[in-house]
Structure 1
Amino acid sequence: MTVLRGDMPPTVIRQPGVVLTDHVLDIPLDHDEPAGERIAVLAREAVAAGREKDELPWLVYLQGGPGSPSPRPQGADGWLARALKDYRVLLLDQRGTGRSTPVNRQTLPLRGPAQAQADYLAHFRADAIVRDAEFIRRKLLGPSGSWSLLGQSFGGFCTLTYLSYAPQHLRECFVTGGLPGLAATAEHVYRAAYPRVAAKNEEHYARYPQDEEAARRIAAHLREHDVALPDGQRLTVEAFQSLGLLLGSGSGSHELHWLLEGAWVEGARGPELSDGFLAQVMQKITFAANPLYAALHEAIYAQRSVSREPTAWAAQRVRAEFPEFDPDAERLFFTGEMIYPWMFEQDPVLRPLRQAAHLLAERTDWPDLYDPKRLAANRVPVYAAVYHDDMYVDRRDSLATADAVPGVRTWVTNEWEHDALRVSSGAVLDRLIRMSRGEV
């Protein structure tokens, strides 16, 4: 159990074009019990070099995920360079990630038995992240200070939670690929997601027809042989299918093709999957860098006012409705952003979390993340990029939310995929900022 004794002194890092100041704050694990256990949360301030003393508005970046740390800058580039023209940016390592108090297979067993671990993990959803941000805002800006938000993917979900519970401290919000369905259950999310993933498979096989046979051949080999990844995890057909997560990014189809192209090597006993291929697969399917993503992924859709039913491994249950994703199907389809219970048996970094994950999947009393009545009275301007062909976030849910929340202006585009903020060299953020100024 981590016990902290107050905020750590800020540290300063200088990179080309940007000055970074790290604030590590001592924050309550449970904001309803401020005298109880504390955790550390990193808030990294970024300002354009030479403008450190300027009075600049703040822009808080809320990372996608859940369970991923904020980007690690290498100078002023990409979307950060665009943001630094107008803002002082705060890169938040959401609780449990990065330099914030970590949650993983090494630390979670310190909590005690599985139920205690599950109770601890329940404090790491969007509602707690928003209350962390409010705690940090008061520390850095004072009680009356206000700032803007930039929410990417799950960070957009957090933005809607922020608008539900503390909109009075927000100047404006930018959302990229992250307007959630306000009343979407996990079951609804996956029932809408599988057809989108199937369409991405069809697009990939149309682009690279040879990959259909390549995927079929690899799947057949995995059914007939025990193939181990470098971390000891067995590469099953189901695990191989999870490479489909790549298909939701702009370059993912090409990346998958090149991976499949180099799969085989002629060994002493005939053709076998190469060490290089297996190493790359392991890097893409392991949850070593973000175990919270696996543990909490379905919980980000759970709200007791929407449904009192447990999420109960919704992705696995709904998958049965789409036989094209059956691992024994003759034509192999890759899956997408789905978490399955077998992952907690096969992935070594998830195995110690499996009992806690099962308890979370059976939980029925998740607090609400969104307040529809308060959102219906929203006065904070929101500028949202909605990707027409987004594999991860349903376009129809996003547009329904935009219709339900006054002040949301959307830019619907099929020019970009879900990772556009990261790969567009600042173009997507620039478009949203210009929307906020009435320039487009």
Structure 2
Amino acid sequence: MSDVTYRRPGLVARDRVFRVPLRHDDPGAGEIEVFGREVVAPSKQDQALPWLIYFQGGPGGKAERPLSTSAWLGRALQDYRVLLLDQRGTGRSTPANRQTLAGLSTAEQAEHLSLLRADSIVRDAEVLREQLIGDEPWSVLGQSFGGFCALTYLSLAPEALRQVMITGGIPTLTGHADDVYRAAYPRTLRKNDAYFARYPEDAAIARRVVDHLAENEVIMPTGERLTPERFQALGIQFGQASRFDALHYHLEEAFAGDVLSDTFLRGVDAALSFGERPLYAALHESIYCQGTASKWSAQRVRAEFDEFDWSRGGRVNFTGEMIYPWMFEQDPALVPLREAAELLAAKSDWPHLYDLDRLARNDVPVAAAVYHDDMFVDRDQALESAQQVRNARVWVTNEYEHDGVKASPTVLDRLLAMNCGDA
């Protein structure tokens, strides 16, 4: 473990680098680095504060970089020393991407990527906890996929946890990826309805864009073609309150005369490129797999929803966080991982992530925010799973979208109050 400390207004940060086994079941298989940024309020730097580890959303998302101490982080620093974890393969942890995996065979790439799921992330966290605080338990805050990690933590090492807070991140504990997407497509359609109710004139612009892309070869700034299906993927922005209107601002500058504008194309590239988060695409369906193969679930299930077929004419509906095999043919950051992604989609021997018996006996306080209209995580599936976790309390709210914990300190404040019996 090595560290560097620096100060900025509102916080003191210490950058820490840890060595962990690549395979926790085989320490002789080599090591990787895992990065964590310790953050504390300046006035409490020398105090013996309890620790809180933050699991970022994803998969494949590095921890947020603290540009301010607003929202959840500011609230957490009132009581905790916070560890912002770059989950293995992301950020300043040993990266896993087209460049670092280039020297491996396709099978080796797939094997390496398969070791980056929640079970390995949790075992990394246990190594970090032992080095930082020994046998002392710590608290967990899991956002989105980070909530999946939190429930895996409760399954693998509940003795390590003082309390758990989950925001927009209770997964199905037993469902197949097909179940996830059969629920996700209708939710995404409702977000489309809400968007076009707000911006009815955008329906004609979106149709014009799709027709133009179908009839012309439009090249993105990074050299690849923009297709109608990739344009539809801009709907991923509908799931966060802070990004819901972003599509409108893309569309209002879409055309420069009869061609798509540079402003539009650069904005689309920034919104859709997986260059900064290739693991989000490579691992996305695997996070739902326990002893089953996903077999490109989102692509197969999409065929059940004609509303997303742009070629039928009418309104163009945008997709959400679905990952499709054609993305590994169109995005330069993903093309070199295409064959490995195919192996992951066919892989059926994924280990289980959740211990249902242990969760049913859970004694660790768990408080979860379930967003009523969450586009990314199904409300009904989340509530069904929460009923299987003993000692879990749920707050269902339509005041926030999926990014609620980053939008207001009220969310974390409410969960902390729930865990200590004040709410």
Question: What is the TM-score of this pair, normalised by structure 1?
Answer: 0.95
1:239 aligns with 2:230: yes
Matched residue, 2:411: 428
Which of 402, 420, 423 pairs up with 1:418? 402
Show CA shifts across 1:351-384 (max 9, x none).
0000000000000100000011111111111010
Supply the distance in 2 between the matched residues of 1:183 and 1:204 (Cα, whole angstroms).
32
Supply the distance in 2 between the matched residues of 1:312 and 1:181 (Cα, whole angstroms).
18
Residue 212 of structure 1: how far off its partner (Å): 0.9
Show CA shifts across 1:49-92 (max 9, x none).
02111111111000000001001112423211110001110100
Which of 280, 283, 286 pairs up with 2:270? 283
Matched residue, 2:192: 201
Supply the distance in 2 between the matched residues of 1:113 and 1:127 (Cα, whole angstroms).
24
Supply the distance in 1 between the matched residues of 2:397 and 2:200 (Cα, whole angstroms).
27
Matches within 5 A, 1:148-163: 148-163=139-154
The DSSP-based 3-state class of the residue aligned with 2:36 is strand
1:18 aligns with 2:5: no
Matches within 5 A, 1:357-436: 357-424=341-408, 426-436=409-419
Matches within 5 A, 1:95-244: 95-110=88-103, 112-142=104-134, 144-244=135-235
Residue 333 of structure 1: how far off its partner (Å): 0.4
Which of 264, 267, 270 pairs up with 2:255? 264
Show CA shifts across 1:319-340 (max 9, x none).
0000000131312100001000
The DSSP-based 3-state class of the residue aligned with 1:69 is coil
Supply the distance in 1 between the matched residues of 2:246 and 2:129 (Cα, whole angstroms).
40
Structure 2: state its 5+ residue gaps: none
Q: Is the 8 A contact 1:344 1:350 kept in 2?
A: yes
The DSSP-based 3-state class of the residue aligned with 1:439 is coil
Residue 252 of structure 1: how far off its partner (Å): 2.8
For 2:33, give the aligned amino acid.
A
Matched residue, 2:306: 323
Q: Percent of counterpart pairs with the same letter? A: 56
Supply the distance in 1 between the matched residues of 2:283 and 2:420 (Cα, whole angstroms).
37
Residue 255 of structure 1: how far off its partner (Å): 1.4
Residue 297 of structure 1: how far off its partner (Å): 0.2
RMSD: 0.9
Supply the distance in 2 between the matched residues of 1:196 and 1:392 (Cα, whole angstroms).
8
Matches within 5 A, 1:313-352: 313-330=296-313, 331-352=315-336
Structure 1: state its 5+ residue gaps: 1-6
The runs of 4+ residues in structure 1 deviating greater than 3 Å are none
Question: What is the TM-score of this pair, normalised by structure 2?
Answer: 0.98
Which of 275, 279, 282 pairs up with 1:295? 282
Residue 105 of structure 1: how far off its partner (Å): 0.8
Supply the distance in 2 between the matched residues of 1:58 and 1:383 (Cα, whole angstroms).
17
For 1:199, give the aligned amino acid.
R
